[in-house]
DNA sequence: GTCTATAATATGATAGAC
DNA sequence: GTCTATCATATTATAGAC
């Protein structure tokens, strides 16, 4: 198939999203202009509109893709039936997944308020589904005596906040390695809900 | 003292800061215009510049005042010498302080990237001082055997993230009261570092 | 598929009247 | 102390040339 010079339709779309991800994470959605994104990609501002109807859709698509990926990645994790084993799997998965994509995580947590109402509701629903995965584990452990949590919803929010917080300080090549960090957070999570850390 | 009609110099300054706090928290610094702040206060945009040299200073002053208040409030909390008692005091203080001013907390954590370099460094230094307060408690407990934490710095970041996260979901008049929430978070914090929750 | 040019609007900040 | 008017600039998004 013949193709014009300068034509890169198969790569420019993804590159627009990558540039937007990087810039939104660094400076915030509202502070980034379409011109900055275009400059990062190496095209003129007008060309971006071949790949997104508008700036808001760009943000929504990034957040939506991130949340869908989070849910499907967790769905693919092998987990036992014992609540302790399932919490162990969740904590390790959460830390790994979040350390692997700090920019998308940052956007997913910081730019919710810049979503238009319909888009906000859609992202919130996905986030809620993820939180429910952890809450189900805590409830199962509460029922069979593996855990001691006075309120499973509160414990869910507390654990997710603690685990997600790793992205606030962890830096590649720092004092602690990923495996160490994962292990320590996992231990704290299990202890926090009253499980033995054996 | 005679005063012109419409003149409210003693109240307008604080009202500008309150409006900025509310709007920055809700929509984000970059997304809020000086005209919006002025409208919230009930003045015209030009009048704001009697109370702040520019928009950036407004953000910095809000964050700086918040961090100074956090540090001085913690300094005023009576704390025992036992690490367990001190962690109990810290957890309860942190939850209370943060639940009392969700907007300032939100800004302090979300708008760091919108600070100019010099302002950023100043706020980071204050935040670091606060983190060090908790880390000192954990280290003391680690040394006297009250706690079991493989890395005090990591545990510090994990606990602060967990406790601060309360502002993400807690709503006044919701299912759980403040005292309950405070107690449950305090218990999880102590358990997470291996202390008895007695 | 990308560019240049531009429309329509919003922005932060200032000057000068009252 | 506040308002109106304005400057200089930046913004999102679109139209039409190539």
User: pLDDT tens-digit profile of B53-108?
Assistant: 999 999 999 999 999 999 999 999 999 999 999 999 999 999 999 999 999 999 99
Residue A186 has a CB neighbour count (10 Å cut-off) of 20
Residue A174 has a CB neighbour count (10 Å cut-off) of 10
B160 contact A CB<8A: yes
Specify the CATH superfamily of domain A7-52: Homeodomain-like (1.10.10.60)
Q: What is the domain class of B1-52 according to CATH?
A: mainly alpha
A114 contact B CB<8A: yes
Say which of A28, A157, A191 has its CB closest to residue B114: A28
Spatial CB neighbours of B168, under 8 Å, sequence gap ≥ 6: A157, A161
Tens of pLDDT along chain A (198 residues)? 434 445 555 789 999 999 999 999 999 999 999 999 999 999 999 999 999 999 999 999 999 999 999 999 999 999 999 999 999 999 999 999 999 999 999 999 999 999 999 999 999 999 999 999 999 999 999 999 999 999 999 999 999 999 999 999 999 999 999 999 999 999 999 999 999 755
Domains A7-52 and A55-192 share a fold: no
Q: Which residue does chain A place closest to B184, by CA atoms? A: A150
Q: Are A98 and A166 in contact (CB under 8 A)?
A: yes
A59, A183, A192, A198, best to mutate vs chain B, most B CBs in 10 Å: A192
Distance between CA A76 and CA B180 in Å, rounded?
36
Domain boundaries, chain B: 1-52, 55-192
How close B103 gets to chain A, by Cα (Å)?
13
Closest nucleotide to the alpha carbon of A37, via C1': D12
How close A161 gets to chain B, by Cα (Å)?
5
* C1' of nucleotide C1: residue with nearest CA: A7
User: pLDDT tens-digit profile of B94-146?
Assistant: 999 999 999 999 999 999 999 999 999 999 999 999 999 999 999 999 999 99
Tell the CATH topology of B55-192.
Answer: Tetracycline Repressor; domain 2 (1.10.357)
């Amino acid at each position: 198939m013949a193709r014009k010079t300068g034509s890169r339709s198969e790569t420019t779309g993804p590159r627009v999203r990558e540039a937007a991800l990087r810039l939104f994470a660094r400076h915030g959605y509202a502070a980034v202009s379409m011109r900055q994104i275009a400059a990062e990609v190496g095209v003129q501002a007008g060309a971006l509109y071949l790949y997104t109807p508008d700036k808001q859709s760009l943000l929504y698509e990034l957040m939506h893709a991130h949340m869908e990926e989070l849910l499907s990645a967790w769905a693919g994790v092998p987990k036992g039936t014992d609540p302790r084993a399932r919490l162990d799997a969740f904590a390790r998965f959460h830390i790994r997944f979040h350390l692997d994509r700090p920019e998308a995580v940052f956007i997913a947590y910081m730019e919710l308020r810049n979503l238009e109402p319909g888009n906000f509701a859609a992202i919130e629903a996905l986030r809620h589904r993820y939180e429910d995965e952890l809450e189900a584990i805590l409830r199962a452990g509460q029922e069979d005596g593996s855990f001691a949590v006075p309120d499973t919803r509160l414990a869910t929010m507390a654990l997710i906040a603690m685990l997600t917080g790793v992205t606030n300080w962890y830096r590649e090549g720092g004092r602690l390695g990923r495996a160490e960090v994962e292990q320590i957070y996992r231990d704290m999570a299990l202890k926090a809900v009253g499980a033995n850390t054996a």
